[in-house]
Amino acid sequence: MFKAILIEKDEAGYRAGLTELDEGALPDGDVTVRVAYSTLNYKDGLAISGKGPVVRKFPMVPGIDLVGTVEASTHAGTAVGDMVVLNGWGVGETHWGGLAQKARLNGDWLVPLPKAFTPRQAMAIGTAGYTAMLCVMALERNGVTPERGEVLVTGANGGVGSVAVALLSRLGYTVVASTGRPQEAEFLKSLGAAEIIDRATLSAPGKPLTKERWAGAVDTVGSHTLANVCAGMRYRGTVTACGLAQGMDLPATVAPFILRGVTLAGIDSVMAPRTERLEAWQRLARDLDPSHLDLITREIGLGEAIEAAAQLMAGQVRGRVVVDVNR
């Protein structure tokens, strides 16, 4: 038997609860992992609360991230005793996820835990930090260097945003952090932000083009915010889009793209190829200051995950939430 958060949907409605399950209930897979830690991401908040159509099969164990030790494996590249990390691949949506003490998975989804990180640190990074690294890599591929000018991070107090601020500042970029929580300005500056701006300056309907300011941007918000970020990009700047906290719509025009040569680079962390995942984790091990993880992380037990998911959806969570599934 093992403990897990289980989401059910039937005649009684949609509900999530802490329960005990038999290992025989685990889904098919060629690797069984004894989970040490998971996380709470925005997608997990949507799944647990039922506020978004994230879960595609029921019952479902949520949790798009996990780290743990391989207990059994018939996968050629994975051995018993290996420490492994999983991010995405539909886990917590169509396949049972990490908010449990056990997981059975496809070995192709797993990457080795980098030696630079403890299991807890790996989940302090999680999908949010791995996505932030994919954004940084995309900016670099498109020629956005520190010398080109300021880089904007929207939703900077969130998981992706806070890691993006820390990564970019350590790499020498001048980072401007946009947030709706001005009381967190000192926190963002401690991560390396050079300036804090109110999200209200970007979140309302705006003009097709505004004064050129940003050489690059990491947008976690979408909707009018992303449209306004595009409108304020410098010539041949690049915006990486990886979130939809404000909305899935994009009320923009083609003006920034055809008049300033702006690039809008979509970032998908869920189905990213293994080679890109390995590179992202290698870069995180090299470029992320581990001391910043303590600044952005709160740890909870598995039994606290449902309440914390509600706080996440209410915008009351700063940075990352790590879930110790064994307490």
| pLDDT beyond 90 at 316 | no
Distance CA 13, CA 15 (A): 6
Residue 323 token pair: 């879930």
pLDDT of residue 1: 92
The token duo for 122 is 């790996």
**Strands (DSSP E) found in 154-232:** 175-179, 195-198, 214-219
Q: Are 299 and 322 in contact (CB under 8 A)?
A: yes
pTM for this model (two decimals): 0.92
| pLDDT score at 147 | 97
Contacts of 145 by beta carbon, 8 Å cutoff, 6+ apart: none
Residue 23 DSSP class: G
Q: What are phi and psi of 123, to 5 degrees?
A: -85, -20
Number of neighbouring beta carbons within 10 Å of residue 111: 17
- Per-residue model confidence (pLDDT) at position 12: 87
| b/e map 158-197, b = 16+ CB within 10 Å | bbbbbbbbbbbbbbebbbbbbbbbeebbebbbebbbeebb
Helix axes 159-170, 274-287, angle to 10 degrees: 60
**For residue 294, which phi and psi values (nearest 5 degrees)?**
-65, -30
Q: Fold for domain 2-116+293-324?
A: Quinone Oxidoreductase; Chain A, domain 1 (3.90.180)
pLDDT digits (tens, 9 = 90+) for 160-200: 999 999 999 999 999 999 999 888 899 999 999 999 999 99
3-class secondary structure, 304 = helix
pLDDT digits (tens, 9 = 90+) for 109-159: 999 999 999 999 999 999 999 999 999 999 999 999 999 999 999 999 988
- Mean residue pLDDT across the chain: 95
Contact predicate 180/315, CB 8 Å: yes
Domain ranges of the chain: 2-116+293-324, 127-266
Token reading at 60: 């479902």
Using one digit for the tens of pLDDT, what is the confidence trace for 13-63? 999 999 999 999 999 999 999 999 999 998 999 999 999 889 999 999 999
**Spatial CA neighbour of 320 closest among 108, 105, 38:** 38
Q: CB of 61 within 8 A of CB of 96?
A: yes
Which residues are CB-contacts of 314 (< 8 A; sequence separation ≥ 6)? Answer: none
Look at residue 295 in the predicted model and tell me its pLDDT.
Answer: 85
* Residues 170 and 133: beta-carbon distance below 8 Å: no
Q: What is the largest distance, in Å, between two alpha-carbon atoms of the chain? A: 61
Comparing C-alpha atoms, which of 123, 152, 166 is closest to residue 302? Answer: 123
Question: Of the candidates 140, 129, 160, which has an alpha carbon nearest to the alpha carbon of residue 243?
Answer: 160
Do domains 2-116+293-324 and 127-266 share one topology? The answer is: no
Over residues 92-103, the mean pLDDT reads 97
d(CA 38, CA 3): 13
**CATH number, domain 127-266:** 3.40.50.720
The secondary element (H helix, E strand) that includes residue 187 is helix 185-191
